[in-house]
Amino acid sequence: MKCKVLINIHEGTIHVEGDVNFVKAVYADFKDLIIDMMKSTPQPRCDANCYSVKESSNKPKVKKRSHSKRQSSSKTQNAKINPDNPTLDKNLNTTGVDEYYAQYIPKNHSEKILIFMRFLKDEAKIENPNTDQIYTCYHAVGEKPAAAFAQSFRDTSSKKFGYIEYKSASDINLTFMGNRHFDHDLKKKDDE
């Protein structure tokens, strides 16, 4: 079965065509970016002339977007942390992550992300860890990160696991299910 998705946020254009699973995977990869683009796109004001313009013209007039310092700085900040292309956080102190990680036997990347999230929150005292900091933890313990690094965060937040709430590369939170799994179900080396 073929499926098609066309998204045009002021000619940012994403055109995907193929089987349903492929289209869903591509959409999932770009979903957060699309939502951020929609939030940053100013909504046109509608006044008395708004309706008359729509009725009298077949083509809607496109207002030019103003570029303010606030918008450009948020784009620059989001551009620094890209879960599809993670970088090492040179300011992150990873002292103790080896010992912390070595206590557990993770079965998959979702459990590895959960361990690193707990380390960053509990030991490194970072309130809101980001994907670059978790990537740095992978590097510090010598673990190979997932090939689809951004997708591994979506999987960890999916219904199957639900360990984290993943809104964006810099907005990741542990969930009740994640803390519960970490505290009660995650295999420890001592348990063997």
More confident residue, 38 or 18: 18
- d(CA 182, CA 176) in angstroms, rounded, equals 10
> What distance in Å separates the CA atoms of residue 126 and residue 118, rounded to the nearest whole number?
10
- Cα–Cα distance for residue pair 100/13, rounded to 1 Å: 44
| Whether the predicted pLDDT of 112 surpasses 80 | yes
Same domain, 113 and 180: yes
Indicate the pLDDT class of residue 52, thresholds 50, 70 and 90: very low
Backbone phi and psi for residue 144, each to the nearest 5 degrees, phi listed first: -80, 120
Co-location of 15 and 66 in the same domain: yes
Domain encompassing residue 6: 2-80
Position 30 scores a pLDDT of: 72
Considering the entire predicted model, what is its pTM? 0.60
47 residue type, one letter: D
Q: Are 128 and 179 found together in one domain?
A: yes
Give the DSSP H/E element, type plus range, for residue 155.
helix 149-157
**H runs (alpha helix) in 1-119:** 20-40, 48-56, 69-80, 97-102, 109-118
Domain boundary among 19, 53, 80: 80
CA angle 155–161–163, rounded 5-degree value = 90
36 falls within a domain: yes
In this predicted structure, the answer to whether residue 68 has a pLDDT above a threshold of 90 is: no
| pLDDT at 134 (0 to 100) | 97
Average pLDDT (122-128) is 94
52 vs 66: which has the higher pLDDT: 66
Q: What pLDDT, on the 0 to 100 scale, is given for residue 12?
A: 60
Which of 100-104, 119-123, 168-172, 186-190 bottoms out in mean pLDDT, i.e. has the lowest? 186-190
Answer for the pair 170, 82: CB distance below 8 angstroms, yes or no.
no
Q: Is 92 inside any structural domain?
A: no
Is residue 90 domain-resident? Answer: no
Question: Which DSSP letter does residue 188 get?
Answer: B
